[in-house]
Amino acid sequence: MGVSRIFSYGGKTVWMLISGFIIAAILSVMLLTKTAELRYQRDVTRMVYSDNLGLLNEVKSKLGLTGDSLKSLMSQTAAEATDQPYLVVSMADHRLWYKQGKQILFDAPVATGSGKELVGGAAGQWRFETPRGRLTVKGKGEDPAWVPPDWHYVEQAHKKGLGIVHLDQGERIPTGDGAVLTTQNGEVVKRYNNGSTVVLGGGVEGKEIVVNGNIVVPPYGTTARRYMGVLGTRRLELGDGYGIHGTDHPESIGQSVSHGCVRMRNEDIERLYPMVAVGTPVYIY
């Protein structure tokens, strides 16, 4: 009854008070959010200037910034202090920027690691993630060859329901038709009983050597362990097998589908390649 009287006799005043309270609450939330963003930008600036980008995710989680903040990282980066060119890759935005100071010299869409896990039993276990943090361009190459790690053959075997067998240098694997698979002068060859040999040539993705229901893993150093075209036309090497490179699957750009490298369309990496020097910092977040 008391509440009804208040709204009956002083309704206008009460509603004004309630509205004022709601507006004040909204403004308070906006102020707190802005304060958090400013603190985040300050901490990002401090960390990248001291080359300590590894703490970035911790700061983001403390401030509740679970989304990728392009604005924060693009506003200040480690190389700005010396006006040194550098690369920035956002995995959430699937985009790469080449900057000098605050000026964007080049940008393009990219594909990044899928985050998927592959279990190969005794062969090992792998997670396909793009490394975060500060890296450096350690080398460059045109028309690069891909030397696939063992996980590639395990992955192909899983897709086709086949087993795995390793071919070591000089080893012979019977093929079931009277011939053997072996190595000769850096090539994997099929040698027949009459002494003739057939060179099996370079690797082709999806067309690996199969013997007796097993995908053959060629030894390192053989032509069969080199795949041309998979990495596109250019590569910037980041170390530990990672790189920024072209692709033979341009439809994958803009997605999280790679095995850890940063993929670009061939026309984009060809434009970027001559701009970037060995030693250029790379920030991936």
Dihedral sign computed on CA atoms, order 237, 241, 247, 252: negative
245 an active-site residue? yes
Residue in this structure with the two tokens 């696939």, named with its chain if needed: 148
Q: Which amino acid is at 143?
A: D
Out of 94, 152, 245, 259, pick the active-site residue. 245
Q: Which residues in 73-151 belong to E strands, given as ranges?
A: 86-90, 95-100, 103-109, 112-113, 117-119, 125-127, 133-136, 139-142, 145-146
Q: Name the pairing type of β-strands 163-166 and 187-191.
A: unpaired
State the Cα–Cα distance between residues 147 and 220, nearest whole angstrom. 8
Contacts of 43 (CB under 8 A, 6+ apart): 55, 59
Task: Give 103's strand partners.
Answer: 100
> Which residue in the list 94, 152, 259, 261 is annotated as catalytic?
261
Q: Which residues of 224-239 are buried (b: 16+ CB within 10 A; e: fewer)?
A: bbbbebbbbbbbbbbe
Active site residue 261: yes
Helices assigned H by DSSP within the chain? 2-49, 56-62, 70-75, 150-160, 266-272
Distance in angstroms (rounded) separating the CA atoms of residues 209 and 203: 8
- Tell me which residue of 134, 117, 158, 129 sits closest to 259, measured CA to CA: 129
Which residues are catalytically annotated?
245, 261
